Structure 1
């Protein structure tokens, strides 16, 4: 039947493409207003809205205006960064589309799915993500239709059945004709390989937990103020007047800028990586790369070139050598050529022979270990010597003179008897040795996984200076000393998931490279799953990263991107924790010691907005690449942050005490405290962003300009008395001097801790 089916000519396809357009649907315009409104309906927004309502009830209209400003800023900030992140992912999704095997002008070729047209003849196999609606005309397949039905079950498809765009071929192979593309398909959208079901990364989960505990701390301090107010003779009316301040203290701990900062930092690095040959299908993969301390490397396409050639051929049959080679070519996959298919076809052509067509063909699958064809009355099997030797019991005896350490072996059976063995040789990439050394310098242990035999794997490991022992998967046990491991040979695709889980159980943060359908579970299980350039569609969708170029150098770039994100979020978290703890402790102890909250509500709202602007920009800050995996300890992080907060609070309380006993008014003190808090927040960013003293390094332009803008606005508000009591130049400069001296003293103590973090 296959011989009667023909695809379109290129001319016909071009006409249909002009008529129907590309197989893609423009993404719906981002609805900024809708996203903005959604940001007004969450926990942090409800607290702000309650504070706004309370201010209105109390008739404090100016304060109401500032709380409203805080509410609108948070919503605008969240919506604008969501828009930016969406734009980055959209740009990546247009590059990360399925590649389809299609017949044009009688020849099979791989094209980008957006050029598919109705009437195209395509070849499908397990692992393909269908990019258009198709009608199956030959073969049998099973598809996962959960993307369109929401039900996680496979559906069997027989000839004349329709399979839909967006579904994944889980089993079988076949030919199909495209029936609908783009908006006319059932899904009605562009099919891409972006991972849309990603969970928050490890770092984000950790920071969310920290913020949760910070909110508890604020709640405790708020309760302390309430109880203290009654002990100091306050009544219910006094408590009502304090409620807006207490609400703002609690609001100050809410990470308004956290989602935006994460989105900005991840998007910033995703854009950078896309220019360096790495597409990010799941943004959390970038931040998790910073923790990576072990990577399982599929040999082909990373350590070796993504191509191979026949180095040796041995004929064991009584047939003419040319006849045997032509029969071997009938068992190569002409629709979806892999490296081995290409190598054998090229070898046959070099002998001046033509490629034979099979009357019946079954592609290679990892479960069988071979492809199968019928040609000229012969049954032909081409694949793993290990698997095929189970069929021909005499195979090992026939091939005892073959040097299997010379390369990858591919056996040929004709009518169930060993007819020959190809030895394929991979070329080690010229940059592999240096790239592996770079991985080791960054504290990442590389382990090579290969389906090759142990002798071949040892030879490759030696060429690239992989340090340690190379063992067979058959010798791998739970007691294997992983610290001495350089590689594992004889690995089947289904072994890889077990390997990932094994190393995770040992406490490693695991990276994994893969390309096949059966690599998908392992890629999904690994913290950083990386699909190589020639990977199956389902493998690309399962991983968090997709390499556009072969080799290991791109993996080093992923690690560096992860470290940059991690360092920025370290700065963000330490800044957020220290700044929030400082604010709440300063106001709490100020009330306990001096009987009033030493900061105006308006100033508190402005302070919160301004500092969220700065912390948001941290997502684009300059960083320095570190050469060891990051490993955060929550207790240690909290200790550092609260030590910073304690230092700034002690100096602040001492300053307030001095001002109170030397004739400064409460209004003037309140404005000076506001200026002090703004400056201390700025210095905390400068201190925590580097392992040098803050005056020895400088932030990115975005961070620096935002900080400068904050300081200028603070000076204007304080000197002109806008939304707070007016102060003179003397008091302003005094506050600046105190903040600068405090920053220098604190940094002199802080840096020794930072260098050992």
Structure 2
């Protein structure tokens, strides 16, 4: 949301000035800026995958056994195993691409299969990212549609603003908008925090001034303390339920006196498939945590609708101001493990959450779409760039979704587990067969006085063994 900056305030690099001008003094450059810290986190994120560690352990074990037996007679190292792994993963990646999930790093498939915690953003992943009008609280209006009509008149459809679109869409009789001609339109700005329109009725030539904006701003237009209190109380009640509020007022005397008509409530509804997907994840042993930049109340309300845990904390309050993601306090580590999610998060918070969960032994998947998500996406075992993500997020992610919603991620995890099951089966077979051959040849040579194997015999044996796999 736009904010107003005053003398002495800090403005972050990369910010866009919507209105006004001010002389500034540069206090930080490069990696010392707020934006630069995010880039620095991206550079330091990442680690060795569990799949790589497992492959090294298997290979080392067989090498040790083979070396011991080689001292006696023969050695047998499964040199084909990495090749089989790569081919299986490549075929798995092709299958995942058909299910709207593009793999940018093959090792991430095995990491995905072991995911036990999924950190999901809210807007556009759990929700539709489409503002919708809820109940309307009447102040001086007699009907909710009267409030919506004035709100729609204080909108400009061609701007394609999400709030304007939601208000206009909620108006049942769209034809009434054609009765008015807009003489002047004052768009929203962070100083006034409202939209104002001056209109004339095409039939009666009646003049109308319409306003919609922040409820506390609209409330001040009334000289009645009771009206002001009702608007503010309504706004507080809506905020506790996770709804955004929008005040609507009109004037018929060129803005000399205003009538507060009512307060519109707005929310971003959950996606139709989100609740089922979360339930499926729970059945598969995956814990879903909500990580969002939205307000805590909105996050909790969304969690209630989706059947998620509501133990969601305000990250700006529980995380220390000068946070070192690599050295999170013990009490905060415990809180991260127990929390169902965090709201009001910044890039370093997301990064710290992922790294802390990994430190606790979890395999973590993280979703994101913006530049600020890049450090956490790169650090996560399975960083996932959702549909419509920025180039920075995609380059840092191991999995890129081409379809919106959480269901694609859940499907990808299920498919990854099938792929990993195939690799596990081959590994068990390969290890067992290698051990069998080594001990058979060694014991046969020692106990039955067999002659050493010739090169042709070794080749034929390898072909017959590998043919089954």
Q: TM-score range by the shorter chain?
A: 0.5 to 0.7
- Among 371, 375, 397, the alignment partner of 1:521 is 375
Partner of 2:102: 279
Q: Which protein has greater RCO, CA pairs closer than 8 Å, 6+ apart?
A: 2
**Is residue 70 of structure 2 the alignment partner of residue 222 of structure 1?**
yes
Q: Does the 8 A contact of 2:336 with 2:353 survive in 1?
A: no
Partner of 2:312: 470
Partner of 2:390: 536
Partner of 1:545: 399
Q: Cα deviations across residues 611-662 of structure 1 (Å, max 9, x unaligned)?
A: 33443xxxxxxxxxxxxxxxxxxxxxxxxxxxxxxxxxxxxxxxxxxxxxxx
Q: In 2 relative to 1, CA 202–301 (structure 1 residues): closer, same or farther, beyond 3 Å?
A: same
Partner of 1:584: 438
**Is residue 282 of structure 2 the alignment partner of residue 440 of structure 1?**
yes
C-alpha separation in 1, matches of 2:337 and 2:282: 13
Partner of 2:162: 342
- Among 440, 457, 460, the alignment partner of 1:603 is 457
Q: Does the 8 A contact of 2:151 with 2:167 survive in 1?
A: no
Q: In 2 relative to 1, CA 209–436 (structure 1 residues): closer, same or farther, beyond 3 Å?
A: same
Q: Does the 8 A contact of 1:290 with 1:566 survive in 2?
A: yes
Partner of 2:240: 405
C-alpha separation in 1, matches of 2:297 and 2:351: 24
C-alpha separation in 1, matches of 2:132 and 2:81: 52
C-alpha separation in 2, matches of 1:289 and 1:372: 48
Q: Counterpart of 2:387 in 1: which secondary structure?
A: coil
Aligned structure 1 segments of 4 or more residues deviating by more than 6 angstroms: 197-200, 321-330, 348-351, 353-358, 370-373
1:29-428 superposed matches below 5 A: 201-225=49-73, 246=74, 249=75, 252-255=76-79, 257-311=80-134, 341-345=161-165, 347=167, 352=177, 399=232, 401-402=234-235, 403-407=238-242, 409=244, 423-428=265-270
Q: In 2 relative to 1, CA 357–549 (structure 1 residues): closer, same or farther, beyond 3 Å?
A: farther
Shift of 1:511: 0.9
Shift of 1:560: 1.1
Q: Counterpart of 1:429 in 2: which secondary structure?
A: coil
C-alpha separation in 2, matches of 1:310 and 1:265: 49
Q: In 2 relative to 1, CA 170–489 (structure 1 residues): closer, same or farther, beyond 3 Å?
A: closer
- TM-score normalised to structure 1 length: 0.41
Partner of 1:560: 414
Q: In 2 relative to 1, CA 491–199 (structure 1 residues): closer, same or farther, beyond 3 Å?
A: closer
C-alpha separation in 2, matches of 1:312 and 1:407: 13
Higher helix share: 1
Q: In 2 relative to 1, CA 269–307 (structure 1 residues): closer, same or farther, beyond 3 Å?
A: farther
Q: Does the 8 A contact of 1:329 with 1:348 survive in 2?
A: no
Q: Does the 8 A contact of 1:432 with 1:552 survive in 2?
A: yes
Q: In 2 relative to 1, CA 283–313 (structure 1 residues): closer, same or farther, beyond 3 Å?
A: farther
Q: Counterpart of 2:457 in 1: which secondary structure?
A: helix
Q: Cα deviations across residues 485-510 of structure 1 (Å, max 9, x unaligned)?
A: 33323334442112212222222111
Q: Give the number of the structure whose alpha-carbon radius of gyration is greater.
A: 1
Q: Does the 8 A contact of 2:242 with 2:302 survive in 1?
A: no
C-alpha separation in 2, matches of 1:598 and 1:371: 89
- TM-score normalised to structure 2 length: 0.64
- Structure 2: gaps (5+ residues): 1-12, 15-29, 38-44, 138-147, 197-212, 216-227, 248-261, 320-330
Shift of 1:533: 1.0
Partner of 1:32: none
Partner of 1:487: 341
Shift of 1:325: 8.9
Q: Counterpart of 1:530 in 2: which secondary structure?
A: strand
Partner of 1:457: 299
Q: Does the 8 A contact of 1:384 with 1:409 survive in 2?
A: no
Q: Does the 8 A contact of 2:242 with 2:301 survive in 1?
A: no
C-alpha separation in 2, matches of 1:300 and 1:486: 17
C-alpha separation in 2, matches of 1:306 and 1:605: 60
Q: In 2 relative to 1, CA 371–258 (structure 1 residues): closer, same or farther, beyond 3 Å?
A: farther
Q: Cα deviations across residues 711-752 of structure 1 (Å, max 9, x unaligned)?
A: xxxxxxxxxxxxxxxxxxxxxxxxxxxxxxxxxxxxxxxxxx
1:734-749 superposed matches below 5 A: none
Q: In 2 relative to 1, CA 324–342 (structure 1 residues): closer, same or farther, beyond 3 Å?
A: closer
Q: Counterpart of 1:427 in 2: which secondary structure?
A: coil
Partner of 2:220: none
C-alpha separation in 2, matches of 1:223 and 1:483: 49
